[in-house]
Structure 1
Amino acid sequence: MFAFKSLRAAALFGAALIGFSMPNAAGAYTRVVAFRSSYGAGTVVISMSQRKLFYVLDDGRAIEYPVAVAKPGKEWLGSARIAGKYSHPDWSPPAVVKHDHPNLPNFIPGGSARNPMGVAAMTLDRDQIAIHGTTRHMRASIGTRASYGCIRMLNEDVADLYDRVGVGTPVVMRP
């Protein structure tokens, strides 16, 4: 018989055994899935083709999150690291976004319903690329190719991931 120190530990164990969803700290449902790879625990792996982000656990498991990935022509592949973590970040559109959407304001404060970064952002050590939340009207983009290179998550999912990672966490983008 197993003794668990917390209800969360017991739920994670159960989810790992049978692969179902469970509520996370943000109230969303976290899906623990089988994930065999050579990446170490704590690595963030993004599958562009699956439109999924995996936070690698140990023993061949990962937490799976649905995401929006880059539009064709804006994608990137390879390795990066989390360079910064920001709660309710301000946002200024990069030049390429401003060029395509000239009516966007030059600055949107954090916490604004119009801020496309959502409740949290983790910047990568790549030029103007982040893993971030989304606005309410952009939730439908999750599962599509919609961004300018960033990885877009549901706000409840980005809040959960934000609590799991630190600056320096490895991030891998796969085709």
Structure 2
Amino acid sequence: MSKLRASGISFLGAIRVSAGLLASAGVCAAIGTTSVAARETVAFPQPYPPGMIIIKQSERRLYFTTGSGTAIRYPIAIGRAGKAWQGEAYVQGKYVEPAWSAPAVVRQDHPNFPAVIPGGSPRNPMGAAALTLSVSEVAIHGTTQSMRKSVGTAASYGCIRMYNEDVVDLFHRAQVGTRVLAIP
């Protein structure tokens, strides 16, 4: 199995896919129907163009602008103190259920993590899908069932965590090249 390293986050056996392949891969079905997506369409009068991702860290919300003064708002987990990323980037890659190996900073705190957590594993912190960013070791991704409670908090090593059902929705909307802005 070849190793793919995207934006400093290690993925093993990850595949870059189109939005149509995500649904055919069964990811939506694997999420189940017992949870309700937390996303909602809201007024968003800021001057950002349609199709842009805005991460408002103080709100712990991600906005995908849709135009006409609206956006789709998703709850997220952001980086813990000293780890939260701010600035501009773009979506560099899109992956369905990527395998994951911990970056060095995570491995320092968790030396007993396995070298690789396979994609689709219930212990894989990347969840159902990941959008890697052009910023080293930062991705917007799903989460494990046990980590769902972290959404709405500052808990990660810099990545943006979403509920799996919400990252799948965003995966369908965002394209490689989509602009991302993280603000306080």
Q: What TM-score does the superposition give when structure 1 sets the normalisation length?
A: 0.83
In the alignment, which residue of structure 2 is the partner of 1:115? Answer: 124
- The CA deviation at 1:35 is 0.6
Q: Which has the higher contact order (CA 8 A, sep 6+)?
A: 2
Q: Paired residue for 1:171? A: 180
After superposition, give the CA deviation of every residue in 1:108-157 in whole Å (9 maximum; x if it has no partner). 01000000000000000011110000000000000000001100000000
Equivalent residue letter for 1:123:
T
Q: Hey, what does 1:53 align to over in structure 2?
A: 62
Which protein is bigger by CA-based radius of gyration? 1
Cross-structure match for 2:94 = 85
- Alignment map for 1:113-152 (pairs within 5 Å): 113-152=122-161
How many Å apart are 1:30 and its aligned residue?
3.3
- Which residue identity lines up with residue 175 of structure 2 in the other structure? G
User: Where does structure 1 differ by over 3 angstroms across 4 or more consecutive aligned residues?
Assistant: none
Sequence identity (%): 54
Q: In structure 2, do the counterparts of structure 1 residues 42 and 120 end up closer, same or farther at CA, with 3 Å as the change threshold?
A: same
Q: What stretches of structure 2 of length at least 5 have no aligned partner? A: 1-34
3-state SS of the aligned residue for 1:46?
A: strand
Match for residue 49 of structure 2? 40
d(CA) in 1 for partners of 2:38, 2:102? 31
Q: Does 1:105 align with 2:114?
A: yes
Structure 1: 5+ residue runs without aligned partners? 1-25
- Name the SS for the 2:165 alignment partner: helix
Q: 2-side partners of 1:77 and 1:122: how far apart?
A: 16
Q: How many residues align?
A: 150
